Amino acid sequence: MTTPTNNALTGFSDTLASAVAQATPALVSVNARTRLPSTGVIWRQGVVVAADHTIEREDDITVTLADGTTVPATLAGRDPSTDLAVLKIDNQTAPAQIGDTSAVKVGHLVLALGFAGGTLGASSGVVSAIGSGRSGGGQIEHILRPDLTLYPGFSGGPLVNLAGQVVGINTSHLSRAGAVALPTATVNAVVDQLSTKGRIARGYLGVSMQPVRLPDQLKASLNLSENGGLIIIAVENDSPAAKGGLLIGDILLSIEGTPVSDTNDVQSILGPNRVGQPVAVRVVRGGADTTVQVTVGERP
């Protein structure tokens, strides 16, 4: 006899299977390393997003489409700091349906899809946290932490909601604590830059810094709320910092009003949108609180 509980479970199970079916046509298997292939997503027409750490060679790359067709791919660019790579293919397969990551909340049920050894697989779980994270390139402002398993080959595959919409790209490479997913806004920004420039422009001041604690007497005399900052120990010749007037011994307190107490804080502020833009850098110099304008350069 069919019970209401069984009906509900069957309906829920069908919802999960429908989400997988909705997202699968835009999945590809990326053949760019000697061992098992990884997963990619057709993000836009002719544009595939994959996980950078799975791209072990830059030539002779192919992708296998969901229908089994294998086509050549060209590496348009890669960004290790977000673990994203962009491939170009000459194919008219429809791209994935991209969802709104801002609508995702902690506790929402999500699915990770990927090709494990060439076979389509899925893993389900909930979004356990939403926040920021750090990588080799600095701070990533927005990441999702899904509580699910990324099987071998799943990196670069999509995180999808119950409507089968892609709300992120999964990777096991950015966190030792488990899987993370980069939201669609981050992926779009990386795709835009890698498709047009082949690289991610990152802000650059041209200084060497180290954290320093502010003496209580200095804090009191300048009425500072900050406990510490970053002291400049070297300034590169002809760098943005040198042209803007930053000096060895200056203690950085904030950039554009955002406090800095760690070099990663600076990297986070100096994102691609800051390159070529003037920023207000607040420093303690010779016991005085002052602000200088520095035009951010692009990191060599």
Q: Which residues are catalytic?
A: 53, 83, 155
Nearest to 13 by CA among 98, 104, 111, 101: 111
Residues in the chain: 300
Token pair belonging to 203:
């802000």
Give the single-character DSSP code of 199: S
Could you tell me whether strands 47-51 and 84-89 are parallel, antiparallel, or unpaired per DSSP bridges? antiparallel
Q: Return the H-helix or E-strand segment holding 292.
A: strand 288-295
Which of helix, strand or coil describes residue 115?
A: strand
CA atoms within 13 A on the CB side of 134: 8
Non-local (6+) Cβ contacts of 143 within 8 A are 130, 131, 132, 133, 174, 180, 181, 182, 183
Residue 129, CB-side half-sphere exposure with 13 Å CA sphere: 9
What is the sign, positive or negative, of the torsion defined by CA atoms of 199, 201, 202, 206?
positive
